[in-house]
Amino acid sequence: MLNSVSEAVFNYYGNPSSIHRCGSESRDQIENARQQVASALGAKPTEIIFTSGGTEANNIALADVNARFAKIISAVEHSSIFNLTRSLPKGSATSVARVNKDGTLNLEDLKSILSTVKAEGFIVSVMLANNETGVILDPEGDLLKLKEEYGFLLHLDAVQGFGKLPINLSDLNVDMLSVSAHKLHGLKGAGALFVRERLQRQSYPDPLFLGGSHESNFRPGTENLMGILSLGYMAEKMSSDRHYKGRLGDIKAKRDWFETELADISQINGSKENRIDNTSNLYFPEISELNLFLEILSERNLCVSGQSACSSGLAEPSRVLTEMFGVESPVPKGSIRFSLSVDTTQEEMVEAVSIIREAIGFYKEVKEVMK
Ligand code: PLP
């Protein structure tokens, strides 16, 4: 049993692909991590492909180098899906299914795409929970029923959902699923793609890199041992450590308390019921210059996000909130995402509320001076 990253650094320097003793010790560690991730997901170890993170897992799942499938994604997918599918060559056409105002998947739109677009086969890729709002896109499991009816391949981007929602792939008819270590407090730069055995037998997905035969030929390159071990370790901790699971359960109470405290000056974006417990996306009607407000909060040590950062480092109006509320809506320009972790304390939440209230007062003063 490995206790720390430093232990791994000093003991497992052998290349896992080398056949000498040092290499096979590293290999054993990787296979142990594969087993840990597989059992946390209810999958077989041979169905887990280690990657450099959620972005790469999503890219491998959807790049479809030989253009065998048409793609359908939701309008609020992470940029690693959204931008990838926009760059695919002709013949891999992607349709985008809308979301409802509460951020859940618009099933009617999906059905209409499935019935009107002509293609040999489809891959539908939908995130389990949205990274900005925390909304669970398919809370009733309708995608699985549609999959039975239309026979598409289903990929779930579970980067935000893994560890916060139960996932048991032994009775969930999903073909591919992406996870990332850093969302579980593992190391950044490691992740995994689950690929169902029957899909692997059809030689899908295609590897994105050219190289050796690592990761069952799906992902060449010497494995990121430390990152992989951190993913395996956290996956096991999260799924079988009762104390840790209890701490995960406490997050919701703190998040709900926080939202109630701010209810007079904010509104919750997205479905209140169908959300993962650690995310709160709030619209503050008094805020119209998000970058200014974020700067004020950051100066007061409250590390929160507006939307995705563009190349200039400034927050752009959120694509996700714009999809939900429309381009004319003020919501994307005045909304902030708050993320809690197992380590967030109630004292910190109390402090966050008072910082936000004071920051709004200061924001209004600055705006007054700028008039
Ligand atoms: N998918 C979702 C829903 C995410 O939130 C993220 C990262 O935040 C990713 C994919 C990309 O994962 P990674 O940062 O490991 O590349």
Q: Coil, helix or strand for 231? A: helix
Strand partners, 275: 135
Query: What is the Å distance from ligand 1's center to 237 Cα?
Result: 21
The rounded distance, in Å, linking the Cα atoms of 64 and 171 is: 26
Q: How many CB atoms lie within 10 A of CB 369?
A: 7
Q: Is the CB of 187 under 6 A from ligand 1?
A: no
> For 199-205, which contacts have Cβ atoms below 8 Å and span 24 or more sequence positions?
199/153, 199/175, 200/46, 200/47, 204/64, 204/68, 204/153, 205/60, 205/61, 205/63, 205/64, 205/176
Q: What is the best residue among 52, 76, 78 to mutate for testing ligand 1's pocket, by most ligand atoms within 8 Å of CB? A: 78
Query: What is the Å distance from ligand 1's center to 23 Cα?
Result: 30
Q: Is the CB of 52 under 6 A from ligand 1?
A: no
Cβ atoms of 281 and 335 within 8 Å: the answer is yes
The rounded distance, in Å, linking the Cα atoms of 334 and 234 is: 35
For the entire predicted model, the pTM comes to 0.95
- Nearest one of 238, 195, 228, 244 to 32, comparing CA atoms: 228
Q: Is the CB of 53 under 6 A from ligand 1?
A: yes
Residue with CA nearest ligand 1 atom 12: 54
- What the block records as the tokens of 61 is 């799942």
> 121-134, pLDDT tens digit by residue?
999 999 999 999 99
Q: Is the CB of 334 under 6 A from ligand 1?
A: no
Measured from the CA of 55, which atom of ligand 1 is nearest? 16
Q: Is the CB of 55 under 6 A from ligand 1?
A: yes
Strand partners, 327: none
Residue-level pLDDT at 311: 38
Residue-level pLDDT at 241: 80
Q: Is the CB of 78 under 6 A from ligand 1?
A: yes
Residue-level pLDDT at 370: 86
pLDDT < 70 positions in the chain: 1-5, 90-92, 307-315
Q: Is the CB of 125 under 6 A from ligand 1?
A: no
Q: Measure CA 41 to chain center.
A: 15
- Nearest one of 75, 90, 91 to 137, comparing CA atoms: 75
Residue-level pLDDT at 42: 98
Residue with CA nearest ligand 1 atom 14: 54
Annotation says 310 is catalytic: yes
Kindly tell me the sign of the dihedral angle through the C-alpha atoms of 22, 26, 31, 33: positive
Residue 187 Cα distances to 15, 26, 32, 58, 127, angstroms: 19, 18, 17, 18, 22
Measured from the CA of 191, which atom of ligand 1 is nearest? 15
Residue-level pLDDT at 4: 67
Measured from the CA of 80, which atom of ligand 1 is nearest? 10
Determine which one of 310, 327, 369, 370 is catalytic.
Answer: 310
The rounded distance, in Å, linking the Cα atoms of 148 and 57 is: 25
- Nearest one of 194, 175, 195 to 235, comparing CA atoms: 194
Residue-level pLDDT at 105: 98
Measured from the CA of 53, which atom of ligand 1 is nearest? 15
Q: Is the CB of 180 under 6 A from ligand 1?
A: yes
Q: What is the pLDDT of the chain when averaged over all its residues?
A: 93
With both helix axes pointing from N to C terminus, report the angle between 225-240 and 242-261 in degrees, rounded to the nearest 10. 80
The conformation of residue 215, written as its DSSP 8-state character, comes to G
How does strand 122-127 pair with strand 70-74?
Answer: parallel
In sequence order, the 6+-apart residues with CB closer than 8 A to the CB of 312 are none
Q: Is the CB of 51 under 6 A from ligand 1?
A: no
- Nearest one of 179, 175, 180 to 123, comparing CA atoms: 175
Say how many residues make up the chain: 371
The gap between the terminal CA atoms of the chain, to the nearest Å, is: 62
In sequence order, the 6+-apart residues with CB closer than 8 A to the CB of 180 are 53, 54, 57, 159, 162, 190, 191
The rounded distance, in Å, linking the Cα atoms of 172 and 132 is: 25
Q: Coil, helix or strand for 156? A: strand
> 39-70, pLDDT tens digit by residue?
999 999 999 999 999 999 999 999 998 889 99
The rounded distance, in Å, linking the Cα atoms of 124 and 71 is: 6
Residue with CA nearest ligand 1 atom 13: 54
Q: What is the best residue among 50, 51, 52, 55 to mutate for testing ligand 1's pocket, by most ligand atoms within 8 Å of CB? A: 55
Tokens 């190289």 locate to: 211
